[in-house]
Structure 1
Amino acid sequence: MKVPYAVSENSRIAYQCSSAMRDSGGERHRKVHAEELDWDKRSPASLRYYALLSLSRVLHRINPLDRILKQDIDMIMDLYPVDIPLKFSVPFIQVEHYWKRAFEMKFPSKKELAVSYWKGKYLATYLQEYMETIKPDVFLEDEARLTSRLVSPYVYQLRLSQLQIVRQPLPEVCFENEIVDTCPYSVQLACDHIPLKPIVELLYNLEELSLIFGVNSSLENYEERLFEFSVADIDSLCMGLKNLHHIRVLRINRSNLDCVKVKVLLQHLLKKDSIEELDFSHCKIGNHGMKALGGFLYMHTNLKVLRISNNRFDEEGVRGIAYALQSKPAAPIELLDFSLNIMSLECATMFAAAFVRCKEKPQTLIVNACGLYGASAEKMAGILSLNRGLKRLDIAGNDLSGEAEKTLITALEQNRNILKINLLLTKISTETQQKVNELLERNRHLVGVERAPSAEIPLLYLNEPEYLVWEYNPNNPKHVPGRYPARVAEYGAVRCRGVRQVPIKLAKCVSGRVQCRDP
């Protein structure tokens, strides 16, 4: 292989001889310049070069790659045009240098760093541009299938930043004596895009799919329907994902994904055990959609990451997710992202109630910029006093000043499992931030060290989830986790070993057990 391919351009620039050195007296009359890697460009081209130039123009008729020398292959890769049809270039050209050159010439505006597989990167970008620019009105399914079949072995990630929408139909032309509504606003809006099923279903190696239903630049042709999509689009997407066994990540961002569409999507994804991450950030999911997400979280067996930042739900939607979390869901959930969703005191209470009852999952909670302040911020900070499953808490952009600041320190003194807390723009003092850093450093030194259950939690509260459910419920917003209230006895009867039934009001709890005493 030629030296310019083996030596990076940055290395050549760093070690090249300066112009002042080349013009010096000792270097001026030197005849051999070994540091010049392009010395051969000044000499006349060889007959080999012209032969390879002719071969490079007829790849669709003659494929010489399996019959020429390795040094000739390196040369012909510089001569092949980058606009060779995919049906000729994809099966035969495996040299990465050609695909890197093709990517830089065909997509000059896209700058990529640390790419290890240029063929896959080029073909994924080619498919992305094809799907983003094709009009639904001129969409040819056979052509789309052929393109998808050619690139499918090399595409592992597909990111679509826009999709073109179908042409809006116009009112019918009426005759002279016929009364017809010709107003363009009387025609139902068309919101369909290109069918995704013929393309997606053939990408059998696809692992990540990101979608944005909309257009990037509408210029003077702006319409509200450009950012809408229909249930038929979701059905087509789900039918395309049906037979993909390696799909792990599905993202639908900055789209009009509402409750009806997310329900249809989750019904199809419930049988996809390979799904590990769902990202519905910056959409329009409401309360009913959040309840559907809660049911999906409860039933799916492999979901690890759920991102639903900046949506349109309130207390009722949070209740659906909180109920799924505290009901020991089947999904091994590791990360929940609720950023940019304004949470009231009731929302914070339900979240705290759910995380008090969660012992192992999730490990990361992100509630950045959720409008938490006062009692709600104190509630979220108090989660750490009873929850031992969280390893990371992002609560940046909220107001933790006042009582919430004290509650956070008290909770961290008891919690030895939390390893990272993001407290940017939370209005806490420098002393509190320093104390938090010290407690987190203490926890990091305890990673891997076997230790007994935390002694700070009274034995009465250990192994008693039914008491936590009874005492700390969403309808009790005044209770803060970690501030253990006194147990309020109720009238009733309890049977002790060898003792007659006595009212519970006369029973006394010692070390988590009921000890009876005579009235």
Structure 2
Amino acid sequence: MPDIMGGQPKEAASPGGVPRVYPPVAKPNPAADPRKMRRIIAEDPEWSLAVIPLLRNLCLQHIIKNFHENPILDKLLPSHKAQVLEKLSTSLPLKVTANLISDEGYWRRCCTQRWGISDVSQYGDSWKRMFFERHLKNIIELFIPDVTDPQTVLEMVPLCRNYVKKLDISQLLPPVKEPQKGDEDDCSDTASDAGFDGPSMDHFDFGILLDKLSHLEELHLVYGVKGCGMNFEWNLFEFTYRDCQSLAKALKSCKTLKVFKIHQSKVDDEKARVLIHSLLDHHVLKELDLSHNIIGDRAARAIGKLINRSNLEKLSVYDNKIRGPGAQAIAYALSRNITLRSLNLRLNRIGDEGGQAIAQALLKNTTLVDLHLGSNELTEPTATALSQVLVQNKTIKSINLSCNRLGSDGGKQLEEGMSHNGTVVEFDIRLTEVDQEGEYCISQVLRSNQDKAGQALQ
């Protein structure tokens, strides 16, 4: 029988007498790589030792796949945590991700997938803040009274209250208008008299939300409907007295509010007074905007009271119906105020009665920097009063008198005042009937003041 080590086949007798032949045994080659000598037969013909995933990666994939059931994140190493956050689905429930994930990269993916390209600078450069502010905004703007369950809003509070600093609500939907019943329905009058007819609210009730948003600083509201098209009705843009009362109560409870704006909502004197009364002791309020409404002199008097009771720095009531007496009330408050820096009264009807009152107030005021009185039916007497302000006031830097009828004589008065002024760097007198010579002289003084201001900054 040949030697096995010699490579010859080996024969042996079987129980039946038939010889068995064994294959030759290869001699070991010390120089060969042992790993290349092994033969592995796998069930998967494409299986290869080179593509076997690391156990670490298998574990991370399992964590990602089952994150909604077992959100393990804080226990991971920083490098492993980054891998998980990069692969996590943006459709995970907010109950899981809201208070657990702070990674800006993840929230950027959420924002981009939902809204496309967005400007995060408007949200303090925080993608997480942007996501929750816009998400809550969408819920409120699509809220239908007596149809949408308020719980859908309340469920969001624990998830977003630490991240929402600003709410910019551009529409508020009214209740669904029920079809008119026929005359045969005799019980309709009875139901109305009993108090069962009509919705329980006219728009979303901010009273259920504002006191729970502990970091809310800005609130912008428009009581109207976007894109109503052929379904336009005036009641779609009606800020009711019931809305006003509930909003005033909500504002009073929101102690962190710094900026409040409500415009294009047909806010009249009565409703404005209710809102302003709720803000009288709001010492953190810095900006109030009641523009594009129908506010008159009664509300202007309330605004004057607010100026002296608060720490307002910016007030905008442009495009309303304020006349001379209302402007006088604001001017009286301005003469005693030490915080207001910007006042915008354009597109009202204050006339020379109000314009002169404000000019007289600026002879005492030492904080106002920006004044806008455009389109207010002002004429030469107001220009004469403001010329004295230009001589004495050393604080104001920007004045806008555009779209008034100051005339050439008024322009000469302003030119005389500006010749003694060294602080005003912006002065808009377009469409005021001031002659070209006056405009040129004023522009020369402005250029000189601007150069001085630029040198001071350097």
Are the aligned partners of 1:139 and 1:194 in contact in 2 as well (CA < 8 Å)?
Answer: no
1:107-256 alignment runs, 5 A limit: 107-108=115-116, 110-113=118-121, 116-169=125-178, 175=184, 192-256=202-266
Structure 1 SS opposite 2:230: coil
| Aligned pairs, number | 400
Aligned to 1:33: none
Aligned CA distance change for structure 1 residues 288 and 161 (closer, same or farther; 3 Å)? same
Structure 2 SS opposite 1:406: helix
- Determine if the alignment matches structure 1 residue 334 to structure 2 residue 344: no
- CA apart distance, 1:168: 3.2
Aligned to 1:458: none
CA distance in 1, matches of 2:152, 2:419: 63
> Which of 62, 66, 71 is matched with 1:63 structurally?
71
CA distance in 1, matches of 2:87, 2:340: 52
- Determine if the alignment matches structure 1 residue 353 to structure 2 residue 360: yes
CA distance in 1, matches of 2:190, 2:71: 62
CA distance in 1, matches of 2:407, 2:51: 77
Is 427-436 or 392-401 further displaced after alignment?
427-436
CA distance in 2, matches of 1:76, 1:154: 23
CA distance in 1, matches of 2:186, 2:436: 82
- Determine if the alignment matches structure 1 residue 420 to structure 2 residue 426: yes
RMSD of aligned alpha carbons: 3.3
Letter in 1 for 2:231: N
- CA apart distance, 1:411: 0.7
- CA apart distance, 1:388: 4.2
- CA apart distance, 1:79: 2.4
Aligned CA distance change for structure 1 residues 60 and 179 (closer, same or farther; 3 Å)? closer
Structure 2 SS opposite 1:59: coil
1:487-502 alignment runs, 5 A limit: none
Instruction: Select the structure of larger CA radius of gyration.
Output: 2
Aligned to 1:11: none
- CA apart distance, 1:267: 1.1
CA distance in 2, matches of 1:202, 1:302: 24
Are the aligned partners of 1:377 and 1:399 in contact in 2 as well (CA < 8 Å)?
Answer: no
- Determine if the alignment matches structure 1 residue 294 to structure 2 residue 304: yes
CA distance in 2, matches of 1:81, 1:237: 38
CA distance in 1, matches of 2:312, 2:68: 46
- Determine if the alignment matches structure 1 residue 409 to structure 2 residue 415: yes
In structure 1, list runs of 5 or more residues that go unmatched: 1-42, 449-519
> Which of 322, 346, 367 is matched with 1:313 structurally?
322
Letter in 2 for 1:273: H
- CA apart distance, 1:49: 5.7
Letter in 1 for 2:141: E
Structure 2 SS opposite 1:154: coil
- CA apart distance, 1:433: 4.1
- CA apart distance, 1:222: 1.7
Aligned to 1:105: 113
Aligned CA distance change for structure 1 residues 158 and 44 (closer, same or farther; 3 Å)? farther
Aligned to 1:490: none
Aligned CA distance change for structure 1 residues 332 and 111 (closer, same or farther; 3 Å)? closer
- CA apart distance, 1:88: 0.7
Aligned to 2:277: 267
Is 369-378 or 140-149 further displaced after alignment?
369-378
Aligned to 1:8: none
Is 124-133 or 384-393 further displaced after alignment?
384-393
Letter in 1 for 2:372: I
Structure 2 SS opposite 1:278: strand
Are the aligned partners of 1:167 and 1:190 in contact in 2 as well (CA < 8 Å)?
Answer: no
CA distance in 2, matches of 1:260, 1:380: 32
Name the TM-score, length of structure 2 as normaliser: 0.77
Structure 1 SS opposite 2:315: strand
Name the TM-score, length of structure 1 as normaliser: 0.69
Aligned to 2:351: 344
Letter in 1 for 2:390: L
CA distance in 2, matches of 1:348, 1:196: 37
1:285-333: CA deviation from partner (whole Å, max 9, x where unpaired): 11211111112223x131111100100122232222123233x24x621
1:141-196: CA deviation from partner (whole Å, max 9, x where unpaired): 333222022101111111111111122355566657889699xxxx9899711111
Are the aligned partners of 1:168 and 1:190 in contact in 2 as well (CA < 8 Å)?
Answer: no
In structure 2, list runs of 5 or more residues that go unmatched: 1-49, 192-196
- CA apart distance, 1:118: 0.8
CA distance in 2, matches of 1:125, 1:316: 41
